[in-house]
Amino acid sequence: SWFGPGLVVMSSHLWPRGHVITLSSMYGSLESPNFPEPYPRDLDLVWDIRVQAGFRIRLDFSHFHLEPSYLCEYDYVKVEADGELLGLFCGSEPTDTEAVPGSTSSSTSSSSSPLLSPSSSLSITFRTDYSDEDRYTGFRAHYTAQDVDECLERSDEELLCDHFCHNFIGGFYCSCRHGYKLHPDNRTCTVHCKDVVFRESSGIISSPEFPGSYPKSSDCQYQIQVQTGFRVRLEFDAVFDVEDHPEATCPYDYVKVVSGGRELGPFCGSVAPGSIETESSSVMILFHSDNSGENQGWSLNYTTTGTKPGLDQTHTDSHRRTQTHTDAHRRTQTHTDLCISPYPYSCLCVVLCVAEVDCGNPPPVTRAQILFLDQNRTTFGSKVRYQCETEPGLNLSTSQSQTSEMFSSFKSTWFSPGSVLVLVSSGCGLSRSLPSLVKRIVGGRTADSGMFPWQVLLQVQDRTRIPEQNWFGSGSLLSETWVLTAAHVLRSPRRDGSVVPIDPQHIQVFLGVHSSSLKHQAQQRIVGAVVLHPDFQPQNYNHDIALLRLSSAAQLSDVIRPVCLPPIRILTDPPLPEPHTLGVVAGWGLSVTPDPALSPGPAPLTSDLLQFVKLPVVPQEECVASYASRSADYNISLSMFCAGYSEGGRDTCPGDSGGAFGQDQRWTVVGIVSWGGPEDCGSKRVYGVYTRVEHYRDWILQTMKD
């Protein structure tokens, strides 16, 4: 029967197992069957609470008295929302293995801390077993809908509104700064930059907000129209930052120049187009941006000069005069003036007659930098140099060295004196969907597919042990054939402390994995060699770093890509990572550490989907002090660093070992998940400890080279 909004009182008759009770009021109460009398046995009831969108649900328990059991195996109340477990409760007093929804003041009542759902739905499951040793009176709970301030609380890293966010009860709306208009998506602010005409003989044109980030979802048209008989010259500023893609030509944002019936571009990336002689008095500059990215933009200075055509040959007949203009470095054009007899010939030649050959941007080469050797010019005779990035295993096919040159030809194409340039290894540290570190910090959450393309899942079997042991770990793809991980993931446990690596044939490598249960559908590789650091000390995890060489090269894709190594460090540089900076760690590890007595050996995977968490780097002094206060056996060396929160709640756990602690926009592995303890992961002032990769850069490169 119902008493008021959302109040459910259930009689003692038998309820079918799995029965679902739906509540949709904005507030209400719920109780265990027969409350306050003892609840029945063998129950399986679910309360499904759903309120209006724009609200979340607060749940308070005013009474809680269930049968106690180890890890709540017998009777329990489970609270879930959006697939996330908010609490598992049993008993009447909290213990090491049991939790109650709040601090208990007596054996039959509690003053509970509220539970908050992240969205507008909440699920409460009440299950009892077939026997009770005592009279347990059950529980009473109350729920209310609370308005969500969407402008402050977000479940992801993307800004809710580009400029201004305004909250109201049950929702929100966005607005824009003066000069902008709201996009039809009601969140993005776009700028009006179409049909903008420049008629002066010189001026400056730039992307909106330059040198700040340009707006999203914009299509700008800038028209330069000067007096007929003049030609426009464009000079792009050296600061040029337009979102690009390593494998496609400007698919997201771009700049185009349209002049004299030809289109130059698209231009994007970080290399400015340089100088462009348009040979026309009318020039259109087009700029497009998509709905994502944070790039600086571009700026150009335009000037005008009068035309001075050169005459090489002149042929005249009774009705027409033809002028032909040629040059060894220029295309040939013909200009004809038509005259009608018997009228006298009179002509003012203002049409441009000479046009330099422009080859456009040189072809991009993946993981190579383009260096202009002629002041960013792309006209005939210009020369550019390709230089490989300072990463192992990169070579251009035209030379044994790390550089190669190309020349612009009279046929409007680029050519190389050597063989044709080929693509080399795909760029490292690239992930289009990875969240920016400068935005709001969130706790651990599920990663999108391809967000961490360097993440590798390792399945290890130790067949030298009786019984045989199996465990999982993580790693980071450094190249098509090398994986970086922690040494302890690949070491066979020995009581005498000796370092014995796992046999390579007993290690499976899975690449591009998002769901661990579907790992066998992902790209798989067997291991050709296991290289543990020669100074690895298993008793204190010092030098906890190792490399795996794959027996065959990985096939790179959008979901399989290498991560970058830290740059070469100068003695005056601060150590990487710097204190208080943020990093990102991903893995399939545990959210609650199991009891070692029940789960001997390394931990299994408990998260099906890849999870990630953002963590701040802890100052080295605090890192050392936090572990020294626990035991002298915990030794934090200079080759280690800590990350996490002093209040706990967010951390890496067993099963994440060997994964990357990544930083920067060109994502770099600055740390490797190593160890933590002695309390559960995520406990207060229990920081995760990571191997400082910067200290091992030379060892990594030398090992990969050998």
The answer, yes or no, to whether the previous bond of 417 is cis (omega within 30 of 0) is no
In angstroms, rounded to a whole number, what is the distance separating the alpha carbons of residues 513 and 520? Answer: 9
Terminal C-alpha separation, the chain: 77
CA distances from 675 to 59, 167, 615, 678 (A): 36, 43, 15, 10
CA distances from 623 to 97, 192, 495 (A): 29, 51, 29
479 labelled ligand-binding: no
Strand order in the sheet with 55-65: 27-31, 138-147, 55-65, 115-116
42 labelled ligand-binding: no
163 alpha-carbon distance from chain centroid: 22
67 labelled ligand-binding: yes
148 labelled ligand-binding: yes
In angstroms, rounded to a whole number, what is the distance separating the alpha carbons of residues 436 and 451? Answer: 12
Catalytic status, residue 244: no
In angstroms, rounded to a whole number, what is the distance separating the alpha carbons of residues 183 and 176? Answer: 10
SS3 368: strand
CA angle 565, 567, 570 (to 5 degrees): 145
Determine the residue type at 349.
C
Determine the residue type at 617.
V
317 labelled ligand-binding: no
Q: Which one from 162, 358, 544, 651 is the annotated catalytic residue?
A: 544
User: Do 273 and 267 touch, CB atoms closer than 8 A?
Assistant: yes
Catalytic status, residue 544: yes
Beta-sheet pairing, 219-225 with 196-198: parallel
426 alpha-carbon distance from chain centroid: 17
**Residue 694: closest CA among 617, 652, 640:** 640
In angstroms, rounded to a whole number, what is the distance separating the alpha carbons of residues 568 and 391? Answer: 11
Cβ within 8 Å of residue 101, ≥6 positions away: 61, 64, 77, 79, 87, 89, 110, 112, 113, 115
SS3 475: strand
The CB density around residue 49, as the number of other CB atoms within 10 Å, is 23
Exposed, middle or buried: residue 284 (CB in 10 Å: 0-12, 13-18, 19+)? middle
129 labelled ligand-binding: yes
In angstroms, rounded to a whole number, what is the distance separating the alpha carbons of residues 380 and 94? Answer: 80
Structure tokens at 507: 């290690």
Q: Which one from 281, 426, 657, 674 is the annotated catalytic residue?
A: 657
629 alpha-carbon distance from chain centroid: 36
292 labelled ligand-binding: yes
Q: Which one from 63, 325, 488, 543 is the annotated catalytic residue?
A: 488
134 labelled ligand-binding: no
User: Do 286 and 258 touch, CB atoms closer than 8 A?
Assistant: yes
337 labelled ligand-binding: no
Q: Please list the alpha-helical segments (H only) found in 3-135.
A: none
73 labelled ligand-binding: no
In angstroms, rounded to a whole number, what is the distance separating the alpha carbons of residues 407 and 382? Answer: 6
Exposed, middle or buried: residue 182 (CB in 10 Å: 0-12, 13-18, 19+)? middle
The CB density around residue 371, as the number of other CB atoms within 10 Å, is 13
**Residue showing tokens 């724009």:** 54
Catalytic status, residue 123: no
DSSP secondary structure, 294-355, as one string: ---B-EEEEEEEE-----SEEEE-SSEEEEEEEETTEEEEEEEEE--TTSPP-----S----
195 labelled ligand-binding: no
In DSSP terms, which residues pair with 335 in a beta bridge?
A: 323
**Residue 454: closest CA among 588, 590, 586:** 586
Helix then strand then coil, % of the chain, to nearest 5: 5, 40, 55
CB-based burial, 671-689: b 16+ in 10 Å, e otherwise:
bbbbbbeeebbbbebbbbb
603 alpha-carbon distance from chain centroid: 27
In angstroms, rounded to a whole number, what is the distance separating the alpha carbons of residues 117 and 145? Answer: 10
Residues involved in catalysis: 488, 544, 657
Binding site members for Ca(2+): 67, 75, 129, 131, 147-148, 150, 167, 171, 243, 253, 290, 292
